[in-house]
Amino acid sequence: MNSTLFFPETDTEITLTNESAPQTMPPSVGRLHNVDAKRLVNCDTVDVNQLAPLKYSWAWEHYINGCNNHWMPSEVPMGRDIELWRSDKLTDAERSVILRNLGFFATAESLVANNLTLAIYKHVTNAECRQYLLRQAFEEAIHTHAFHYICESLALDEKAVFNMYREVPSIARKDEFEMRLTEDVLSEDFSTKTPEGLERFLTNLIGFYVIMEGIFFYSGFAMLLSFHRRNQMTGIGEQIQYILRDETTHLNFGIDLINGIKEENPGLWSPALQARMIETIRTAVELEIAYAEDCLPRGLTGFNAGQFRDYVGFIADRRLERIGLPIQYGTKNPFPWMSETIDLGKEKNFFETRVTEYQNGSALKWD
């Protein structure tokens, strides 16, 4: 069987025989560069190997943004953290808060990376979104690297830190919640072509971008950054700031993707699905509050577990709004300094350690 390629600019048809056709050429190739035919999911007509012309410029912007924020964990100095960790200046409660949060993040980043590459990537049928997903996947690898680097620097028991997601119930419950969503999309008969399948796919996206990266990470960010605010564990704090900046882009991309799929598939975002998503987010909020209370059994300077109930509700409301759902909590942000932290441009005087305006290539010196 021969396939025909049509080049609209030249009105030329080229017939490829099976022998000359590249093996990766999908049989459905028709008009090339038909931008309007691009679709975020279930696109059968546009070759996903052809990035340009772009249709979803937001995906490309997130990609460029991610590249401009490139950083490596090993470039963050850890000397002061090592000194403090070895000293007797941290209480047992403070050490336990740090360890629990490292334990959560150490594996959570891998769960996100695996969901991204094994569950999401295959079903997103658009080249510019895939370009972003590849960048994000690398950033998740860098984040896992950061927690490994922190463990190594502080000479922590890595086996214990990386196994907490099996051993600490409040971590295990958050991760099980996410892993179920990954399995839903990994099953062999899964397809986004049925309305039920597409709903499951959207649920996975909301579960990872909105809940995992948008809610489950935030108590941990606040707890770890609170040390940085007191000028303690500033190496960990600096890495968390870089991670938080990356995660902000992941969340923004995820929300654009979720809302884009909703727009392109009228009927998908039904009142029933919206109600289910509100319930799912409410369940996640309870898991996150339980996690924060578990991390702070004896309190921590400047914090009590009750504030996390307000904080997680506040964060969840912001996420709900962005995917077009009604807010559920109406709580105030008890940690306004966290919003300042997200905008690293303002950070320079706020935190006293080095904060690099990281642009790619800035680390290259030829002397």
- Which residue number, 228 or 250, has a Cβ lying nearer to Mn ion? 250
**SS3 track for 10-26:** CCEEEEECCCCCCCCCC
Query: By C-alpha distance, which of 255, 225, 239, 240 is closest to 336?
Result: 225
Report in angstroms how near the CB of residue 367 gets to Fe ion at its nearest: 34
Beta bridge partners of 51: none
Find the binder of Fe ion among 81, 94, 109, 288 (CB under 5 A).
109
- Which residue number, 251 or 281, has a Cβ lying nearer to Mn ion? 251
Q: Does the footprint of Mn ion cover residue 213 (CB under 5 A)?
A: yes
Cis (ω within 30 of 0) for the bond into 53?
A: yes
Report in angstroms how near the CB of residue 64 gets to Mn ion at its nearest: 17
Segment contacting Mn ion (CB under 5 A): 68-76, 119-127, 211-219, 224-232?
211-219
Q: 218-229 and 92-114 are packed helices; what angle lies between their axes, rounded to 10 degrees?
A: 140
Q: Does the footprint of Mn ion cover residue 245 (CB under 5 A)?
A: no
Find the binder of Mn ion among 174, 245, 250, 309 (CB under 5 A).
250
What region does 32 belong to: left with phi over 0, alpha with psi -120 to 50, or beta? beta
Q: Does the footprint of Mn ion cover residue 135 (CB under 5 A)?
A: no
Segment contacting Mn ion (CB under 5 A): 147-155, 208-216, 257-265, 323-331?
208-216
Site string for Fe ion, 230-269 (x = CB under 5 A): ----------------------------------------
Residues 123-152 that bind Fe ion (CB under 5 A): 140, 143
Q: Within its chain, how far is the Cα of 315 from the centroid?
A: 15
Does the annotation mark 291 as catalytic? no
Q: Does the footprint of Mn ion cover residue 178 (CB under 5 A)?
A: no
- Which residue number, 140 or 288, has a Cβ lying nearer to Fe ion? 140
Report in angstroms how near the CB of residue 113 gets to Mn ion at its nearest: 8
How many residues bind Fe ion (CB under 5 A)? The answer is 3
Considering 63, 132, 149, 218, which one is annotated as catalytic? 149
Which residues contribute to the site for Fe ion (CB under 5 A)?
109, 140, 143
Q: Give catalytic residue positions.
A: 149
Which residues contribute to the site for Mn ion (CB under 5 A)?
213, 247, 250
